[in-house]
């Protein structure tokens, strides 16, 4: 769902390895505090966020779970209140060491209409497929109604295609440096940027993250995140983001 | 060896960590980010940093946090030297750069600025002096000097080995500071900090300033005490 989630997922694997003496835990969880919830390079919380997830993993590779965060939206993202993501998918390791992952997410913003009057529901579903090998990973996401009615412009299509590639380099035991680049494109992106005063139908996001495993399933991460978005009155500049997370098994 | 002294952070980053090198880190969350008594986050704060301390007392580091008054986020880069004069008096001299990278994205102007620092401490009492030639960058533009000064006095009392009470008084002044904040002002705080297991620590503080005046909306403003609670974790490499 976001870089934090990805960092936490990596961490959960680490926690799993630490606990390898016991049988495969069926449910993994995580909690995290982050100085900003960044979604594909965009500010979704305009300040600190507290997040958590629970994921049930089946030995066949099937998984399902939920992830939640406070959100406020930002210069581009039109959400507020809270976000709850429900997801399910299937992930497996092929014999050549490649991991593949396919699944679907529903981004649910339950508080969108509590102030009454508007019905600009930003909730939407998305499907994804990804692959990773050693430190390199790539994932493609497709949504046909990106940010739902909240980013709708007339009767235009709202499709969004997001491609992200990440490389994580292991500097030392428990210390990783990761570089990530993402590309968002489609009418849904054009609508989102139009709401913010722009007229492009694509943008790039990039980040560099240093993650330190600090024991007991906890991790600290330091990141710089930016996009190439430049619209009227808003030219995105690099954001410093720090996060603290803890992974656990139920 | 000379290279090592000049670029300790670089060498450490590529992984040549000698066993005695003191690279430490910290992450924490607090209910608010108060900078010299001013509310810089308007809500919850998450922050963290890394620091390298050399055996000879030189140190350098970086920390970052969310900061709505900084355009979204703040990163501080700093370097200095801390040591002892004789057996009792500790001294500290350094420089730090407040990097507000996002302050330009909404045409708010460039707020990043540099500040120097000199401090001394003994018997739990510390005195610190800070000088910024152009306090908060563009926020202090307006002709004339843009300087900002901060002098602070604090006393840390050990109730027991893991529980400390700190009283703090600070005074901020200078043409640049008065442009950016509106007036010279005093800030004061009382902090109770408790060391917890596994390098966690928690703090509870009451913070206030003597700032009074009028908000841009015209409403009267009189700063009242704020209670801040925080939790942080230290770690080492």
Q: Which of A175, A100, A178 lies closest to A133, judged by CA?
A: A100
Chain B positions touching A35 (Cβ under 8 A) are: 45-48, 64-66, 73
pTM of the model: 0.87
**CB contact A94 to B (< 8 Å):** no
Integer Cα distance of B137 and B103 in angstroms: 10
CB contact under 8 A, B105 and A241: no
Residue A32: which residues within 8 A CB-CB, separation 6 or more?
A4, A8, A50, A51, A52, A243, A244, A245, A246
Query: What's the pLDDT tens digit per position in A42-73?
Result: 999 999 999 999 999 999 999 999 999 999 98
Shortest CA distance to B167 belongs to which of B210, B208, B118, B212? B208
Chain-chain contact of B46 with A215 (C-beta, under 8 angstroms): no
Note whether A233 contacts B: Cβ–Cβ < 8 A. Answer: yes
Q: Does A48 touch chain B (CB under 8 A)?
A: yes
Contact A48 B198 (CB under 8 A): no
H/E stretch holding B146 reads none
Would the CB atoms of A244 and B27 count as touching at under 8 Å?
yes
Per-residue pLDDT of chain B (237 residues; tens, 9 = 90+): 333 333 333 333 334 444 455 999 999 999 999 999 999 998 999 999 999 999 999 999 999 999 999 999 999 999 999 999 999 999 999 999 999 999 888 666 789 999 999 999 999 999 999 999 999 987 777 667 899 999 999 999 999 999 999 999 999 999 999 988 888 999 999 999 999 999 999 999 999 999 988 766 777 788 899 999 999 999 998
Testing the interface with A: which of B29, B73, B228, B231 to mutate, by most A Cβ within 10 A? B73
Cβ of B61 under 8 Å from any chain A Cβ?
no
Residues in A closer than 8 angstroms to B105, CB to CB, are 75, 234-237
3-state secondary structure of A7: helix
Q: Is A206 on the interface with B (CB under 8 A)?
A: no
Q: Is A214 exposed, middle or buried, given 0-12, 13-18 or 19+ CB atoms closer than 10 A?
A: buried
Nearest to A242 among B42, B65, B102 (CB): B65
């Amino acid at each position: 769902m976001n870089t934090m989630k990805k960092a936490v997922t990596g961490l959960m694997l680490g926690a799993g390895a630490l606990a390898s003496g016991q049988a495969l835990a069926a449910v993994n969880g995580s909690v995290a505090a982050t100085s900003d919830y960044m979604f594909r390079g965009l500010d979704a919380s305009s300040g600190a966020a507290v997040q958590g997830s629970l994921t049930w993993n089946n030995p066949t590779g099937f998984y399902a779970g939920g992830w939640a965060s406070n959100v406020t939206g930002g210069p581009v993202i039109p959400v507020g209140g809270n976000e709850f993501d429900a997801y399910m998918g299937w992930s497996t390791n092929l014999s050549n060491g490649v991991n593949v992952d396919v699944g679907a997410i529903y981004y649910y913003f339950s508080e969108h209409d509590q102030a009454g009057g508007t019905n600009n529901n930003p909730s939407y579903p998305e499907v994804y497929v990804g692959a990773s090998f050693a430190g390199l990973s790539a994932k493609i996401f497709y949504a046909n109604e990106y940010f739902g009615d909240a980013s709708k412009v007339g009767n235009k299509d709202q499709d969004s295609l997001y491609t992200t590639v990440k490389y994580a380099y292991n500097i030392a035991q428990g210390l990783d440096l990761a570089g990530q680049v993402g590309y968002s494109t489609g009418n849904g992106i054009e609508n989102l940027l139009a709401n913010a005063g722009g007229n492009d139908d694509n943008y790039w996001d990039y980040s560099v993250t240093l993650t330190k495993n600090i024991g007991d399933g906890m991790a600290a991460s330091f990141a710089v995140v930016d996009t190439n978005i430049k619209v009227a009155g808003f030219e995105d500049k690099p954001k410093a983001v720090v996060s603290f997370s803890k992974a656990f098994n139920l | 060896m000379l290279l090592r002294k000049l670029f300790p952070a670089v060498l450490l980053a590529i992984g040549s960590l000698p066993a005695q090198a003191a690279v430490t880190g910290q992450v924490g969350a607090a209910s608010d980010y108060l900078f010299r008594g001013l509310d810089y986050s308007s809500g919850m704060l998450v922050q963290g940093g890394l620091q390298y301390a050399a055996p000879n007392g030189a140190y350098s580091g970086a920390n970052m946090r969310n900061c709505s008054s900084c355009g979204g986020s703040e990163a501080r880069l700093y370097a200095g030297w801390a040591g002892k004069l004789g057996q009792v008096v500790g001294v500290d001299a350094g420089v730090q750069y407040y990097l507000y990278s996002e302050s330009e994205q909404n045409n708010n102007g460039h707020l990043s600025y540099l500040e120097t620092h000199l401090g001394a401490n003994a018997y739990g009492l510390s005195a610190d002096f800070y000088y910024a030639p152009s306090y908060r960058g563009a926020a202090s533009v307006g002709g004339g000097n843009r300087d900002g000064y901060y002098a602070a006095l604090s006393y840390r009392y050990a109730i027991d080995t893991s529980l400390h009470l700190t009283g703090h008084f600070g005074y901020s002044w200078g043409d640049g500071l008065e442009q950016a904040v509106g007036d010279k002002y005093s800030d004061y705080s009382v902090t109770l900090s408790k060391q917890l297991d596994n390098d966690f620590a928690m703090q509870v503080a009451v913070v206030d300033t003597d700032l009074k005046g009028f908000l841009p909306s015209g409403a009267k403003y009189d700063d009242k005490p704020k209670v801040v609670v925080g939790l942080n974790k230290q770690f080492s490499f």
